[in-house]
A and B are shown apart, each in its own frame.
Chain A
Amino acid sequence: MKSICFYFQVHQPFRLKTYRFFNMGHDHYYYNDFENSHIMSRITQKSYLPMNDLLMKLIKKHGKDFKVTFSITGHAIEQFEAYAPEVIQSFRKLAETGNVEFLAETYAHSLSSLRSKSEFFKQVEMHSNKIESLFGVRPVTFRNTELIYSDEIGEMVHEMGYNLMLTEGAKHVLGWKSPNFMYCNARNPKLKVLLKNHTLSDDIAFRFSNHGWSEWPLTAEKFATWLADLDKNEDVINLFMDYETFGEHQWRETGIFDFMSSLPAKVLKTKKFKFATPSELEKELQPISAIHVPYPISWADEERDITAWLGNEMQNEAFDKLYSLENQIRNCNDPEILSDWFKLQNSDHFYYMCTKWFSDGDVHKYFNPYNSPYEAFINYMNVLSDFTIRVDEACSKSSGERIMEKAEDLGKQISKVARKAVKSTATKVKETIETTKSEIPSLEHIKDLSNAKVKAMLKEIDAQNLMYAIQDASDEVRDKILPNLTKSAKAEYDRLSAEVKKIKKTDIAEARKKISERISKLLS
């Protein structure tokens, strides 16, 4: 018996308001509340509530035979809480039936998996906490933003403790292989991977109302026949799509709700299928093969890659600038800054900057508040500039980082002084050698001298200069010099070099003081 796995993605970004450069420095509120609340209430009425009702009815009708899966982003939940709390109630009721699985993903619908492991882990943790607090169950299956997946990301996901991840059945990755089986990660076979059947998924999500499509109109009967005609050895058909497909991308008038309400009965009647959630499939199915994905794939556009978000210079600059703040923010506890940090990571901001209009322009325009990718970029960069100013002020560097930086500075100073000392020592050595030998000498010539001569020379050089001088010298030179030191000079040398080594560990202020004293002594 084959399984059908329906998974719906629920996400709404916090769209930015028009933020001019002259707002920088004094206006720290970045979001278009009017538009965000307007869009949220519209989709709630047109899609979320009626579709939740429909699924509830289907669950009541078919009992355990009908199951669905959701992934709801943290920012969608925040906006439900603010603008449409009834949607959360309605999802709760669905959760209580036990026929619904909720997936884990990044809280901010972010692209952090492509840049920062620590940020990625942090956001997944945040999201799971939120889902658990709302629906009482901690997610056990992972889906990444826009179904982005690579061997490396899969490895990280397993490291977080997940045994199953969802992604796109991208043609360029699968080749002749079918997406209708369980696969596993190429580096770590313990992570199972379920692949979206993009033909059948997109028949519903994109082509359903397209009158130019040869299969239009798509009926539940027709779709059930297609499912029944699939190779009987295949295990699972993954139908992954945006939840807004129902009622928003495909309006009610297209018949999408009727299609969905009659589909389960039509499919179950054949007795060839059952509906299953990803975690059930994880227990039930064994991977037939590993899937090799060296470069990230996603479910977007014809290319099924990440160029919709990181495909041009502007997207890359914005992305780089944003994540350059990560280290500073890690030590920051300001809740407002953290909240903005997550909202600015939303992948949608980068999607609006996409310049590949020609093939996929229509989808990109959907819910896009900007007239052009350039406007999107300028607006985002203005916001990011103000955010950077705030981060610099509020999350000034931690004491640990400050010590590290000062240590680096000191290190540089020391080597500068040392270079000077090497020069002066070398001159002295040269003079000494000149009195004993006629050829042109250098520090390296020490190794050719007799021990007596070295001893004689060393008497004229103080330990401090010596220490600096042989910091960069070869071991041979060092071996020649050190045994020839007088006891007191050796002791002094050891004391100084120990102090140089200790600098990173000991109190920086004191080291700095000592060094600066020494520097002034050296310079005088």
Chain B
Amino acid sequence: MKVLMFGWEFPPHISGGLGTACYGLTKGLANQNIETIFVVPKAYGDEDESAVRLVNASDVLVDSTDETYQEFWKKITYLEIGSNLIPYVSPQEFARIAEENRLEGVDHQKKVTSTKFEFSGKYGTDLMAEVSRYALVAAGIAKKMDFDLIHAHDWLTYSAGIAAKKITGKPLVVHMHATEFDRSGVNVNSNIYDIERRGMEEADRVITVSNLTKATVIEKYGINPDKIFTVYNAVEPTDKEVYEVKRHVKEKVVTFLGRLTMQKGPEYFIEAASIILKHDPNVRFVMAGSGDLMNKMIRRVAQLGIGTRFHFTGFLKGADVDKMFLLSDVFVMPSVSEPFGIVPLEAMRSNVPVVISKQSGVAEILKYALKVDFWDVHGLADSIYGLLNYNSLSETFRKYGKDEVDSLKWDNAAYHVVQVYESLFK
């Protein structure tokens, strides 16, 4: 079977979580003897990285001389299209900026930094046009290539997927890694929403990364449940060397790591920290990441008077992320809305017990994790306290958590994707 796949980015030019996922998935598909033609818009590579890069998704090292990697490329045809689309985070960032544009009109230009201004000025109003142009080029490619079905990742490529389907009549699978509701909360960009809905309506199969996303797709987009299939993401086993980090504080450390945006629920982490610190001042809390809620969060910490025990690191990447995990006793992901959520898996891989919100896709598959509703700050505080104070619990999580994460393999995910493919031809 041969698949025409539309994505945003691909190794070795990985900059976001979707690239990692696409790489893992295509690798898994290659093991299942599925050939892939992977189409990406050409990235410029000079984007402001701190603004577009996901904090933790940078851990897949690609060595192009590696033999298995070479083997892998035999099954992959890789095409780049000249385009202004930037990978992964751009639509979120774009949606936010576009939204600000809409709300604040021209004044907006004065408020953002000059780089941001350039960013929005360069790509701003053109994004939808870029999407259409990408679709046009995609249709041209589809006409020339030989394949059995089309697989499109996230909304940016849906128009391309639809165009390819119209031209060739081949079945279309769209893959929902995140919905506009996950990215923007209540301030949904209706253009993007429309593209997502249309993509799923036109698709023969919809793959969601969790049942949570599946439910959103059914409820908010009105998509027929019969054609939606959940395939959970996986993580690549890491060969990274484990190195020791010396701890300089005697207190236990509880960590939040992610963008400081409404969807990630940073304020619930702060409230829980305040509850714990009232009872036991010998704990330190770390909030790693940056985002539009940063200043508000700093103010809230000051208001609660817990600043000596609550620390902001700003944006972390690469080795700093690994170091942060090595310094942590508990990792917390209180996301309000998280289609899947790969960070807790990375924490568990570093032997850190995790507390995750029930509103995350990853909560559906993890056994060795404490799960609470994101709004239940008392439950969150109690879970953290339990992991810090009751040794047998944290030991159990450390003992079995790593194995659990290591068992989430892309080969399994690819197997389920192939089953979705096969269902198209029965």
> Can you name the residue of chain B whose Cβ is closest to the Cβ of A318?
B392
Q: Mark A372-410, 1 if CB is under 8 A from B, else 0.
A: 101101100110000000000000000000000000000
Q: Are B385 and A313 in contact (CB under 8 A)?
A: no
Residue among B378, B383, B392 with most chain A CB within 10 A: B392
Q: Is A176 an interface residue (CB 8 A)?
A: no
Hey, which chain A residues are within 8 Å of B381, CB to CB? 20-22
Q: Is A312 an interface residue (CB 8 A)?
A: yes
Hey, which chain A residues are within 8 Å of B382, CB to CB? 20-21, 378, 382
| Cα–Cα distance between A20 and B386 once the two chains are bound (Å) | 9
| Cα–Cα distance between A305 and B55 once the two chains are bound (Å) | 48
Q: Are B392 and A314 in contact (CB under 8 A)?
A: yes
Hey, which chain B residues are within 8 Å of A374, CB to CB? 370, 386, 393
Q: Are A378 and B371 in contact (CB under 8 A)?
A: no
Residues of chain B in range 270-305 having any CB-CB distance to chain A below 8 Å: 275-276, 278-279
Closest chain B CB from A199 CB (angstroms): 32
Hey, which chain B residues are within 8 Å of A313, CB to CB? 392, 395-396
**A side interface size, CB within 8 A:** 19
Q: Are A314 and B393 in contact (CB under 8 A)?
A: yes
Q: Are A378 and B383 in contact (CB under 8 A)?
A: yes
| Cα–Cα distance between A21 and B370 once the two chains are bound (Å) | 16
Q: Is B390 an interface residue (CB 8 A)?
A: yes
Residues of chain A in range 14-33 having any CB-CB distance to chain B below 8 Å: 20-22, 24
Q: Are B390 and A20 in contact (CB under 8 A)?
A: no
Q: Are A377 and B278 in contact (CB under 8 A)?
A: no
| Cα–Cα distance between A424 and B378 once the two chains are bound (Å) | 62
Q: Is B391 an interface residue (CB 8 A)?
A: yes
Hey, which chain B residues are within 8 Å of A450, CB to CB? none
Closest chain B CB from A130 CB (angstroms): 34
Residue among B370, B371, B382, B391 with most chain A CB within 10 A: B382
Hey, which chain A residues are within 8 Å of B389, CB to CB? 21, 381
Q: Is A462 an interface residue (CB 8 A)?
A: no
> Can you name the residue of chain B whose Cβ is closest to the Cβ of A381?
B390
Q: Are A314 and B396 in contact (CB under 8 A)?
A: yes
Residue among A22, A312, A381, A382 with most chain B CB within 10 A: A22
Q: Mark A350-370, 1 if CB is under 8 A from B, else 0.
A: 000001000000000000000
Q: Are A22 and B275 in contact (CB under 8 A)?
A: yes
B contact face: mostly helix, strand, loop, or mixed: helix
> Can you name the residue of chain A whose Cβ is closest to the Cβ of B383?
A378
Residue among A21, A312, A317, A355 with most chain B CB within 10 A: A21
Closest chain A CB from B375 CB (angstroms): 15
| Cα–Cα distance between A264 and B59 once the two chains are bound (Å) | 70
Q: Is A371 an interface residue (CB 8 A)?
A: yes
Closest chain A CB from B280 CB (angstroms): 8
Hey, which chain A residues are within 8 Å of B278, CB to CB? 22
Partner of A381 from B276, B371, B383, B386 at Cβ < 8 Å: B386
> Can you name the residue of chain A whose Cβ is closest to the Cβ of B368?
A374
Q: Are A317 and B383 in contact (CB under 8 A)?
A: no
| Cα–Cα distance between A377 and B386 once the two chains are bound (Å) | 9
Closest chain A CB from B419 CB (angstroms): 23
| Cα–Cα distance between A378 and B396 once the two chains are bound (Å) | 13
Hey, which chain A residues are within 8 Å of B395, CB to CB? 313
Q: Are B392 and A317 in contact (CB under 8 A)?
A: yes
Q: Are A377 and B279 in contact (CB under 8 A)?
A: no
Closest chain B CB from A293 CB (angstroms): 28
| Cα–Cα distance between A454 and B391 once the two chains are bound (Å) | 60
| Cα–Cα distance between A312 and B400 once the two chains are bound (Å) | 12
| Cα–Cα distance between A349 and B392 once the two chains are bound (Å) | 16
Hey, which chain A residues are within 8 Å of B391, CB to CB? 317
Q: Are B378 and A378 in contact (CB under 8 A)?
A: no
Q: Is A415 an interface residue (CB 8 A)?
A: no
Q: Is A471 an interface residue (CB 8 A)?
A: no
Q: Are B378 and A20 in contact (CB under 8 A)?
A: yes
Task: Evaluate whether A377 and B378 lie within 8 angstroms (CB atoms) in the complex, with A21-B279, A22-B279, A372-B371 already known.
Answer: no
> Can you name the residue of chain B whose Cβ is closest to the Cβ of A20?
B382
Q: Mark A291-327, 1 if CB is under 8 A from B, else 0.
A: 0000000000000000000001110111000000000
Hey, which chain B residues are within 8 Å of A378, CB to CB? 370, 382-383, 385-386, 390, 393
Q: Are B396 and A312 in contact (CB under 8 A)?
A: yes
| Cα–Cα distance between A371 and B367 once the two chains are bound (Å) | 12
Task: Evaluate whether A375 and B390 lie within 8 angstroms (CB atoms) in the complex, with A21-B381, A22-B381, A313-B396 already known.
Answer: no
| Cα–Cα distance between A381 and B382 once the two chains are bound (Å) | 11
Residues of chain B in range 86-113 having any CB-CB distance to chain A below 8 Å: none
Q: Are B371 and A21 in contact (CB under 8 A)?
A: no
Hey, which chain A residues are within 8 Å of B378, CB to CB? 20, 22
Q: Mark B375-406, 1 if CB is under 8 A from A, else 0.
A: 00010011101100111110110000000000
| Cα–Cα distance between A378 and B393 once the two chains are bound (Å) | 8
Closest chain A CB from B121 CB (angstroms): 50
Task: Evaluate whether A21 and B385 lie within 8 angstroms (CB atoms) in the complex, with A371-B371, A381-B390 already known.
Answer: yes
Hey, which chain A residues are within 8 Å of B275, CB to CB? 22
| Cα–Cα distance between A305 and B117 once the two chains are bound (Å) | 69
| Cα–Cα distance between A381 and B278 once the two chains are bound (Å) | 19
Residues of chain B in range 23-40 having any CB-CB distance to chain A below 8 Å: none
Hey, which chain A residues are within 8 Å of B386, CB to CB? 21, 374, 377-378, 381-382
Hey, which chain B residues are within 8 Å of A24, CB to CB? 279
Hey, which chain B residues are within 8 Å of A372, CB to CB? 370-371
Hey, which chain B residues are within 8 Å of A371, CB to CB? 371
Closest chain B CB from A198 CB (angstroms): 30
Residues of chain B in range 139-169 having any CB-CB distance to chain A below 8 Å: none
> Can you name the residue of chain A whose Cβ is closest to the Cβ of B370?
A374
Hey, which chain B residues are within 8 Å of A382, CB to CB? 382, 386
Hey, which chain B residues are within 8 Å of A317, CB to CB? 390-392
> Can you name the residue of chain B whose Cβ is closest to the Cβ of A378?
B386
Closest chain B CB from A195 CB (angstroms): 34
The 5 sampled A-B contact pairs (Cβ below 8 Å) are: A22-B278, A24-B279, A374-B386, A377-B392, A378-B370
New contact pairs (20) apart from A372-B371, A382-B386, CB-CB < 8 Å? A20-B382, A21-B382, A21-B385, A21-B389, A22-B279, A22-B378, A24-B279, A312-B392, A312-B396, A313-B395, A314-B392, A314-B393, A317-B391, A372-B370, A374-B370, A374-B393, A375-B370, A377-B386, A378-B390, A381-B389
> What 10 A-B pairs have minimum CB-CB distances, sorted nearest first?
A378-B386, A317-B392, A313-B392, A21-B385, A20-B382, A314-B392, A381-B390, A22-B279, A313-B396, A374-B370
B-contacting residues of A (Cβ < 8 Å)?
20-22, 24, 312-314, 316-318, 355, 371-372, 374-375, 377-378, 381-382
